[in-house]
Structure formats: C-alpha cells, structure tokens
C-alpha cells in the first residue's frame, strides 16, 4: 500500500514535516501557516527538484508535498488548522521525539486507521483505483488549506493598510454584525480611553454593555493598557473588549484572564475569524469596509 518508504518525495516530506513541527514548537505551538512554510523553506536544504513547479498546477513541489502530508498529521491528532493558523498538539510535540522518519510513519499509520473507521462502500474496486481516489481527496484538502491561508494573509495585509480610525470603524461594523448597537464611536482626538461603546439594545438598558479599546499597530498591548480598560468598567454588566492587531504580551493575557471584571481579548487572528463568521450578517455598507468573496469547491 502507498509509496515505498525510500521514495524521493517521501524522504523530503519527512524532513519538511519534522521541521514544521520544530518551528511550531519554537513558537509556543501556534503560528500562521504561511509563516510556518516560510520558516521551513529557510531551514530545509532544498534542491532544484524540490524547488521546481508542477507543470499543470504551477505550485512549488516542496510546498505541495508539505501541505499534502499535513493531512496525515491532522488525522493523527498531531496538528490542527483553523483560519490559517497551524497548532501543534501535545501529541504532535511528543511525536517529535520519534525523529524525522518515524514521526511521519506514525502519522501515516494513524491516517490509515482513521480512514478505516470511515463509512466505505462495498463495491470491489481495484486497489490502484482506490489509492488514486484517496490521493485526489487528500490533494483537494491540501489545496483548500493553501487557498485559505493565502486568503487570510490577504485579509491581514488589507487590514494592516487601514489607518487606526478606519480599523476602528471596521471593529464597530463587526459588533453591529454580531447584533450590537454602536451609539459611540470615538472621533479623532482624545477618547477617554474608549474607542467604541456597544449595547444589546438602542438605549443600553440590557447587559452586557461593551466598552471597547482598539490598538491598531504591530506592537503587543501591555499590562498597563489592559488595566486602563479595566478601570473603566465601573457598572455591573460592563464588559471590556480589547482589540489589538499586534497581539498581547503574556503578562497582559494573564492580567485579563485573572481579572475580577470581564475583559475579552481579540488579537488579529481572532478578529479575522470573527469577521469571516459574521460577514453575511453585515449590511452591504459595512461589508464594503472589509469585503470578502466566497470561493466554492466541489463537496466530497
């Protein structure tokens, strides 16, 4: 079944997957998929064959091989993917101890076990045809993953080019898509620490009442900035929302997590995920602030 263990593509896959897991481990178990691929490309010695593009698809061979074999790793429970982010599971981190060859071998075994548990039809097909169908299905999954990651990167680049006030309006639009009213959006100038106030009803009589601080920059939000927002949550039912495209320091996350008031942190990746989730609920005028286009694939 499958390719010989010493095939050229499989040997390369072993190095690529092992290196990708190492990259994720060095980044605390999670990283944007495209950045994982970039790091792998820097760390693995790739020859002309690996760097060549497939004639039909135009895709770079080594990148396609890496994407292809991440499917085995996902079915094995070693790797998760969500909104373009790759996550190394505890099982995946432990699998690093197996070494290059055995890690992918274990993932492939787990994939076969997963496949065996699926509902199969009873038609007696030729073994070669069955393997070709399975390969096509895995390649389709890999292609979808790749397009999703490219789409996420495009969204991030678009948002990064917005000025702080444009991004503030996008955040307010998202809240409206989530069913909130936004009676206050800070004008240019001093805002008293709040950028948006959002209510469940037009008058703000129904909890929760959202007080939103927004930082659109590359640097991470700090503990002092989180505490500043916490100090503005004076009334019962107040909830603090801190949106930071630069993410949060570890101490800032701990402060929000352990706070006696509710402070919700939204980093760049979570914001993009929420925008995708609630996009269809936005009015057309708000959709134009960060427009999305659906791409349809044949269902399996």
Say yes or no: 17 and 72 in one domain. yes
Among the three residues 109, 141, 159, which one is the final residue of a domain in this structure? 159
Among the three residues 137, 159, 181, which one is the final residue of a domain in this structure? 159
Among the three residues 99, 126, 159, which one is the final residue of a domain in this structure? 159
Say yes or no: 36 and 72 in one domain. yes
Determine whether 218 is exposed, middle or buried from the number of CB atoms within 10 Å of its CB (0-12, 13-18, 19+): exposed
- Indicate whether 294 belongs to any domain: no
Task: Report the number of distinct structural domains present in the chain.
Answer: 2
Task: Name the DSSP class of 190.
Answer: -
Say yes or no: 142 and 32 in one domain. yes
Q: What's the rounded Cα separation, in Å, for the pair 273 and 253?
A: 19
Segments of 126-267 assigned E as strands: 181-185, 196-199, 209-215, 238-244, 263-267
Say yes or no: 19 and 150 in one domain. yes
Say yes or no: 131 and 221 in one domain. no
Mean pLDDT rounded to a whole number for the chain: 85
Say yes or no: 125 and 15 in one domain. yes
Say yes or no: 257 and 176 in one domain. yes
- Indicate whether 133 belongs to any domain: yes
Per-residue pLDDT tens listing for the chain (300 residues): 334 444 788 889 899 999 999 999 999 999 999 899 999 999 999 999 999 887 766 788 899 889 888 988 988 899 999 888 999 999 999 999 999 889 988 888 877 777 666 644 444 444 545 555 665 666 666 666 666 776 777 788 889 889 999 999 999 999 999 999 999 999 887 656 799 999 999 888 888 899 999 999 999 999 999 999 999 998 888 999 999 999 999 999 999 999 999 999 999 989 999 999 999 999 999 999 998 877 665 555
pTM attached to this predicted model: 0.61
- Contact status, residue 107 vs residue 73, Cβ threshold 8 Å: yes
Give the model's pLDDT for residue 22: 96
Say yes or no: 91 and 204 in one domain. no
Say yes or no: 111 and 240 in one domain. no
Say yes or no: 206 and 180 in one domain. yes
Give the model's pLDDT for residue 192: 61
Full domain range(s) for residue 75: 8-159
- Indicate whether 275 belongs to any domain: yes
Measured from the Cβ of residue 260, the count of other Cβ atoms closer than 10 Å reads 7
Say yes or no: 62 and 78 in one domain. yes
Say yes or no: 20 and 140 in one domain. yes
- Contact status, residue 24 vs residue 36, Cβ threshold 8 Å: yes
- Contact status, residue 18 vs residue 70, Cβ threshold 8 Å: no
Q: What is the pLDDT of residues 172-195, one digit of tens each?
A: 999 999 999 999 999 887 656 799
Paired tokens of 268:
């760049």
Give the model's pLDDT for residue 5: 46
Residue found by looking up tokens 């699998």 in the block: 95
């Amino acid at each position: 079944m499958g390719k010989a263990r010493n095939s050229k593509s499989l040997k390369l896959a072993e190095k690529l997957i092992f290196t990708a897991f190492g990259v994720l481990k060095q980044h605390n178990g999670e990283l944007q998929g495209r950045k994982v691929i970039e790091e792998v490309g820097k760390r693995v010695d790739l020859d002309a064959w690996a760097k060549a593009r497939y004639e039909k698809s135009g895709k770079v061979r080594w990148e396609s091989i890496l994407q292809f074999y991440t499917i085995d790793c996902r079915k094995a429970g070693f790797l998760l993917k969500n909104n373009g982010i790759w996550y190394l599971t505890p099982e995946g981190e432990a699998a690093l101890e197996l070494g290059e060859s055995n890690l992918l071998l274990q993932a492939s075994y787990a994939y076969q076990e997963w496949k065996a548990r699926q509902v199969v039809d009873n038609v007696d097909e030729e073994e070669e045809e069955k393997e070709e169908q399975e390969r096509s299905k895995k390649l389709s999954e890999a292609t979808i993953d790749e397009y999703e990651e490219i789409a996420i990167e495009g969204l991030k680049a678009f948002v990064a080019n917005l000025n702080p006030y444009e991004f503030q309006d996008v955040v307010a639009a998202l809240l409206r898509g989530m069913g909130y009213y936004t009676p206050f959006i800070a004008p240019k100038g001093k805002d008293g620490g709040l950028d948006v106030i959002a209510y469940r009803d037009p008058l703000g009589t129904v909890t929760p009442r959202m007080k939103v601080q927004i930082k659109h920059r590359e640097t991470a939000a700090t503990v002092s900035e989180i505490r500043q927002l916490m100090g503005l949550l004076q009334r019962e039912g107040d909830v603090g929302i801190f949106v930071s495209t630069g993410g949060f320091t570890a101490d800032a996350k701990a402060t929000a997590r352990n706070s006696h008031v509710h402070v919700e942190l939204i980093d760049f990746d979570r914001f993009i995920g929420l925008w995708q989730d609630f996009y269809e609920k936005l009015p057309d005028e708000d959709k134009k602030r960060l427009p999305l286009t659906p791409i349809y694939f044949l269902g399996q």
